[in-house]
Amino acid sequence: MNRLLFPAALGLMLTACTPAMTAPDLTGSPLVTGQEWTMLSPAAGGNLQLSRQLTVGERELQTDGTVQYRTAPITTVTGKTEDLFRFLPLGQGRSVIVAGRSETTFDLRFFDFCVVRSDSASVNELLSGVYVQTATLEGLALNRAYQSYVNTGVAAGLPACTLTRVK
């Protein structure tokens, strides 16, 4: 009997000591670490467009079924920036890509996001969506106009923005 328990115990011990594998992404996210995107969003107080180059960072599966991607924060002269992406798998034609940047300037932190309803990310494909600026990540989730756009596709007065994958 002891001879039978030893291999089982050894196998269990080796399994417990093995590093955990990263869970596969079953969401169908079109985003891949290293992709580069251009975000065009409204500049403050005018018809000008502000262009930002964004990079898809490391993938993190979230408990709510979404996939988040973050780059490592980059220190600038006045603070820090970090590129953020999130994919919400809401079904064919309803999925959402949220892309943007977190900026901390001195003690002020804000987030600029372009939110598009798409489940594709082809190179040079122009994706149109809505622009949201908020002071916190939680502020995005609580923004009613943003929620309306995610749920219905109706822009509800939010300014327009575009995302284009360039690499």
Q: Record the pTM.
A: 0.78
Render pLDDT for 14-44 as a digit per residue (tens, 0 to 9). Answer: 333 433 334 445 568 899 999 999 999 987 6
Contact 41, 112 (CB under 8 A): yes
DSSP three-state, residue 20: coil
DSSP three-state, residue 13: helix
